[in-house]
A and B are shown apart, each in its own frame.
Chain A
Amino acid sequence: MTTSIKQLPDIEQVLSGNGACGGCPATMALRIVGKALGSNAIMLLTPSCSVASMGMTPKLGYNWPCINICFATAGSSASGISHALEIMQEKGRLQGELPTVFCWAGDGGTYDIGFQALSAAAERNDNMIFFCYNNEAYSNTGVQRSGATPRGSFTTTTPTGKRQPKKNMALLMLEHNIPYVATATVAYPGDLYDKVVKAKNTPGMKYIEILAPCYLGWQFNMPETVQMSRKAVRSGSWLLWEAENGKISFNNPSAHIISGKKKAEPVDEYLMKQGRFSRLLKGSDAAQRIAEIQGDIDREIAFMRERAKITI
């Protein structure tokens, strides 16, 4: 059973009046993460929108000790901190429960620039949680193409739409044989909360990826952030799953799509709402390019369905 909205704790770790855009999905997700992690945590941020929305000195918008680090070093810095904390506890210089060390990185800091350090940290199985809030572009610097940008999407560096599909980062992390991997999105806060609580109580390296529909980058109306996130799940372009010790289980509503109980909605409606796909939809080869995107999604669903059957 997922936690209902009324059961979520009162604690607020994202403080009002931070510098994020109105309707920002990253702060929306971080609020829920804060409710699950509590105040005993250390936050590491690589350059991303979340660093820009921390606010100006001498004030800080997040109620955690926050460290701003270089773009490529999220994994290695978190490793260092978690090792240091363990040694401090061993020597008796740190009493009580160990703080949770977590990285809060964007998709650029995870898929592209931060991948090497993250992969190494996963291989060492260091005790931390790595959160990737995925807005499918480098939104902080004005929407450039990243490894998470889906096929056909407009960015300033792919003006005619990206020609390549995105990579499945959560699956790549699963193949590092780490204890816990999960995907979530802002439209299902109870699901996200449960996954973060589970990650917090699991020792070792944990990876959680959160789809964050950025209204500026994706070019839709500001109030529709949550609806867009819900549409992404219902159309099957984002699958909600978690893997404990390599065993994949799907969460609703993705579980229905995977089991074939409910058909995924056609991707057209999801694409039409977003301005970043409008150039693709206006062209003469629109039908073919939409079919390509639908093909990517169908392939991903079929692949994950078969991958989940491997439970060794």
Chain B
Amino acid sequence: MKSVTKAYRPISWPMKGAGGDTGSWRVHRPVVDPKICSKCQICWVYCPEAVIDRKEITIDYRYCKGCGVCATECPTGAISMEKEE
């Protein structure tokens, strides 16, 4: 990945946040309960946005769009959707 200053050319460079801080689109926020979570990584594989950390099962709220696929697919029910303040 290149820095932003180098990127002002007619071509684009791969970089996070190409659509802006997409976390602001979110209506519901997924919250992981580490006590229930079995670290099966199902949420990680289905996340369309690649915001879930594979090892720790933490969510990058800067880019999470709050689609809720992780909460629906979680087999233990460790992810709950809470209304954004």
A residues near B (Cβ < 8 Å) are 5-6, 8, 10, 12, 14-25, 27-28, 31-32, 53-64, 186, 189, 222-227
Contacts and interface: CB of A to CB of B under 8 A. Distances in A.
A172 B27 CA distance: 42
Q: What 5 A-B pairs are tightest by C-beta distance, nearest first?
A: A55-B18, A23-B67, A19-B19, A223-B68, A22-B65
B72 A16 contact: no
B14 A189 contact: no
A58 B13 contact: yes
User: Which has the most chain A C-beta neighbours within 10 Å: B21, B44, B65?
Assistant: B65
Contacts of A22: 25-26, 48-49, 65-67
Given A23-B69, A223-B69, A8 B50 contact: no
B16 interface: yes
A17 B18 contact: yes
Contact of B12 (A14, A60, A189): A60
A61 B18 contact: yes
Contact of A17 (B7, B12, B21): B21
Interface string B52-85: 0010000010110111110111000000010000
Contacts of B45: 5, 8, 32, 189
Q: Is chain A's binding surface mostly helix, strand, loop or mixed?
A: loop
A22 B26 CA distance: 9
B50 A60 contact: no
Nearest to A230: B73
- How many residues of B sit at the interface, in one of the four size bands? 35 or more
B16 A62 contact: no
Contacts of B63: 16-17
B36 interface: no
Given A16-B49, A54-B18, A61-B18, A5 B41 contact: yes
Given A15-B18, A20-B49, A28-B46, 13 more contacts: A8-B45, A12-B50, A17-B22, A17-B63, A18-B49, A21-B67, A28-B47, A54-B18, A58-B13, A59-B13, A59-B17, A61-B19, A223-B67
Contact of A62 (B9, B14, B20): B14
A59 B42 CA distance: 29
B7 A58 contact: yes
Nearest to B9: A58
Contacts of A32: 45
A12 B71 CA distance: 21
A206 B71 CA distance: 35
A53 B25 CA distance: 14
A221 to B, nearest CB: 8
B15 A60 contact: yes
A186 B47 CA distance: 11
Contacts of B8: 58
B40 interface: yes
B37 interface: no
20 contacts: A5-B45, A12-B50, A16-B16, A16-B49, A16-B60, A17-B62, A21-B65, A22-B66, A27-B48, A28-B47, A31-B48, A54-B12, A55-B12, A55-B17, A58-B12, A58-B13, A59-B18, A62-B14, A63-B14, A222-B67
Contacts of A28: 46-48, 69
A27 B67 contact: no
B73 A60 contact: no
Contacts of A226: 46, 69, 72-73
Contacts of A55: 12, 17-19
Contacts of A225: 48, 67, 69
